[in-house]
Amino acid sequence: MSSIKDVAAAAGVSVATVSRVLNDHPSVSADARSRVLAAVEALGYRPNAVARSLRTDQTRTLGLVISDVLNPYFTLLARSVEEEARALGYSVIIGNADERPELQDHHVRTLLDRRIDGLLVSPTCGGSPLMLDAAKAGTPMVFVDRWIAGVDVPVVRADGRAAVHALVAHLHALGHRRLAIIAGPAATTTGSERVEAFREALGEYGLPLPDAYIGQGDFQADSGRRATERFLDLAEPPEVVFAADNLMALGALDAVRDRGLRVPDDIALAAFDDIPWFVHTDPPVTAIAQPTRELGRAAVRALVDRIEGRPPESVTLPARLVVRRSCGEPASAQAPAAQPSPMQRSMP
């Protein structure tokens, strides 16, 4: 692999001149420039990003640590993060924490060792000391989706409160009164927040949220299945199960099916996070959709602002309710084709 020296030799100039051409510094003659460009072309030269990073102390790389790549919500988030970053001239390195704190730490450490310019993280389980230290030490950082209270780091997230209210209204209108929730880990903000919003919304309709109707999940399908089984074993099982993420909803669906019961006839189901597949499940699942692409975009912009010295800002975008059939038919029958399929790319 040829280096800048080879190019300099081939073009008959010094390495400094080559470097200047490459970074289009103004003071280089047209003649020198064209000779350098020709040499670059001839040798197929590409600057070594490693050396460049060492010298300039910037990698033009962002780290993204997400909780679970297999979760379509995070996949989509990762994708939009990469898109926006690319548009802004940055690369992204993704670390999958798999909801495991020690894996999250591993990735944060690795990314920091690589001297990424900034870190986007959706913290798995409270914050690791490592991450907090990095933030305090001045590593540009932005939380996305989830965050850690009391840390001075911008947060980009969706507010599901209004959508959860809308969901409860919808359920109430359908005549449901015994509503249960499968919560995420209490240590995550999204875990606790969704329960709170749910409880609050129930309160407005004078409905209780007994402890037995709060299942503890971990955002994985299996935990959704187990929580649902426990609900079904209750003397008075709930009429509705609201899963705090899409994977747990799937587990719930499994559990219901394994009992030979049917959604929504025997028990209704709703989920937080809308994903393309919910259109095709049996039955299609009513869900709360986050503006995932916009979230990714906003997060990158905030992080890059911070990196490039502009003041970053926290962003909160509203989530919205998408009604399908898993909670029962709404009074006014909806035309089947009215709902545009989210399978299609939602790119502009």
Q: Which positions touch a second copy (CB under 8 A)?
A: 1, 44, 46-51, 53-54, 59, 69-70, 72, 75-76, 78-79, 82, 86, 91, 93-94, 96, 106, 109-110, 112-115, 133, 137, 220-222, 225, 250-251, 253-254, 257-258, 260, 276-277, 279-284, 336-337, 341, 343-345
| Least CB distance to DNA at residue 20 (A) | 6
Other C-beta atoms closer than 10 Å to the C-beta of 269 total: 27
Among DNA, a second copy, none, residue 344 binds (CB under 5-8 Å by kind): a second copy
Distance CA 183, CA 227 (A): 9
Mention every residue, 6+ apart, whose C-beta is less than 8 A from residue 1. Answer: 46, 48
Structure tokens at 344: 């299609």
Identify residues 293-332 at the interface with DNA (CB under 7 A): none
Residues between 4 and 43 that touch DNA (CB under 7 A):
4-5, 12-17, 19-20, 22-23, 26-29, 31-32
Determine phi and psi for 205, rounding to 5 degrees. Answer: -100, 10
Other Cβ atoms less than 10 A from the Cβ of 96: the count is 19
Closest approach of a second copy to the CB of residue 172, in Å: 27
Binds DNA (CB under 7 A): choice among 34, 38, 42, 54: 54
Q: Which does 257 bind (CB under 5 to 8 A by kind): DNA, a second copy, none?
A: a second copy
Task: Decide which of DNA, a second copy, none touches 69; Cβ closer than 5 to 8 Å per partner kind.
Answer: a second copy
Which of a second copy, DNA, none interacts with 236 (beta carbon under 5 to 8 A by kind)?
A: none
Q: Which segments of 44-145 does DSSP mark as H helices, in order?
A: 49-56, 72-87, 101-113, 129-136
329: closest CA among 205, 207, 179, 170?
A: 170
Q: How many Å apart are CA 203 and CA 254, to the nearest integer?
A: 30
Among a second copy, DNA, none, the one that 136 touches (CB under a kind-dependent 5 to 8 A) is none
Q: Which residues pair with 183 in a beta bridge?
A: 216
70 contacts DNA (rule: CB under 7 A): no
